Amino acid sequence: MHSINYFNALITPSEDCQAVAKVPDKPGSIAHLQYEMLRDAPMVHQSDDVLVTVVGTRKEIPKEEWDDLKNDLFSKGQPCFRTSPLVKTHGWGLYHDSDGRVGLVDPRSDRFQELLDDPEVTTVPGMRNARR
């Protein structure tokens, strides 16, 4: 089974992202659903859980079927949070702790700089929006 979870890692905003910690404003979008989930429960969910919740919600799959959805999704590789619209277009950092739990980090915050300076935290850049 594949997983998109990171551990002790900070995904930084994409190099070519124009926004900085912008709140997604389109209800029901992937970015908005991810943002709400991470804002409302910081450092509670792993990336895998966020993906399943967002896909299940957008496809209106009943929650009791989400275990099957998870098995189906992760039977093959899925794009990780380096491709999240939160990172690519809204300019958020995503920190994953040692248990893989993820939270939003504003790149202008002291916390973001602390994570960048922490030798225990791997820094991973968000995927670019455009090819060079």
**DSSP string over 68-122:** HHHHHHTTS----GGG-HHHHTS--EEEE-TT-BEEEE-TTSHHHHHHHH-TTSE
Quote the pLDDT of residue 132. 58
CB atoms within 10 A of CB 46: 19
C-alpha distances in Å from residue 40, one per residue of 3, 16, 43, 71, 118:
23, 27, 10, 25, 26
Quote the pLDDT of residue 69. 94
Whether this model's pTM surpasses 0.85: yes
> Is the Cα dihedral 35, 117, 100, 1 positive or negative?
positive
Quote the pLDDT of residue 41. 96
Cα separation, 27 vs 82, whole angstroms:
22
Q: How far is CA 80 from the centre of its chain?
A: 8
Quote the pLDDT of residue 63. 95
Residue-by-residue pLDDT tens, the chain, 132 positions:
689 999 999 999 999 999 999 999 999 999 999 999 999 999 999 999 999 999 999 999 999 999 999 999 999 888 899 999 999 999 999 999 999 999 999 999 999 999 999 999 999 999 998 765
Contact status, residue 75 vs residue 1, Cβ threshold 8 Å? yes
